Amino acid sequence: MIFINEWLPNPVGNDAQGEWVELWNNGQSAVNLGGWLLKTKSGDKFSLNGYKIEAGGYLVLARAQTKLVLRNTDEGLFLYDNGGRLVAESSFLGSAPEGKTYSRLASQGSGSGAAFVFSEPTLGKENVFAGVSNFINNEYRLNTPLNKEFGAAEFLGLMLGTAMVLTAVIFYAVKKNESLSKLFFGGDEKIR
């Protein structure tokens, strides 16, 4: 199967010279990409006619080859096979950090369901996630809190803060409502 493996939307320096997309063939045989298509979220397209990826191999495509402009914010890439079927996709929201690639987590899903994270570039090689693997592979014991316990001081502070806010809101509402204001604070009722 062919995957979008890694791509660099926000290189250090000139985007036109530094952007690239990497595809990966995790299969046991070479794949001819004739009729395949790579497309960006904005609709730019690049035909993969004439390209082939060997078994277990990587294909790195520079922006100079593809003419695909990878936006630094809210971007996506889509890979279609020669039958027009979407076989892989990768997209992010927000801004891409400078010099980091958006890389596929090898152990996560296939094709369009794969998970991606920003990491250090590994151009033409297996993705490496220094510091990220601890987060990905963390296991948590059942009934073990992830946050520190809520102590008496924190509880008392929360209660006091909530009481102060509620008092202020009630006082404001009573003062703004003439009937309630007269009821609670008396008023200048005329005696008949």
Tens of pLDDT, residue by residue over 78-94, are 999 999 999 999 999 99
pLDDT at 124: 87
Tell me yes or no: is domain 2-136 CATH 2.115.10: no
Tens of pLDDT, residue by residue over 9-48, are 999 999 989 999 999 999 999 999 999 999 999 999 999 9
**Is residue 63 very low, low, confident or very high in pLDDT (cuts 50, 70, 90)?**
very high
**Is residue 179 very low, low, confident or very high in pLDDT (cuts 50, 70, 90)?**
confident
pLDDT averaged over every residue in the chain = 83
Residue 77 neighbours by CB under 8 Å, 6+ apart = 4, 7, 21, 38, 39, 40, 41, 70, 89, 90, 91
Task: Report the distance separating Cα 163 and Cα 175, nearest Å.
Answer: 18
Q: Residue 96 to residues 14, 21, 56: CA-CA distances in angstroms? A: 15, 14, 28
pTM of the model: 0.65
What crossing angle do the helices spanning 178-185 and 152-176 adopt, rounded to 10°?
A: 110
Task: Report the distance separating Cα 95 and Cα 63, nearest Å.
Answer: 19
Amino acid at 68: L
pLDDT at 108: 46
Compute how many other C-beta atoms are within 10 angstroms of the C-beta atom of residue 75: 21
Where exactly are the structural domains of the chain?
Answer: 2-136, 152-185
Residue 60 neighbours by CB under 8 Å, 6+ apart = 20, 21, 22, 123, 124
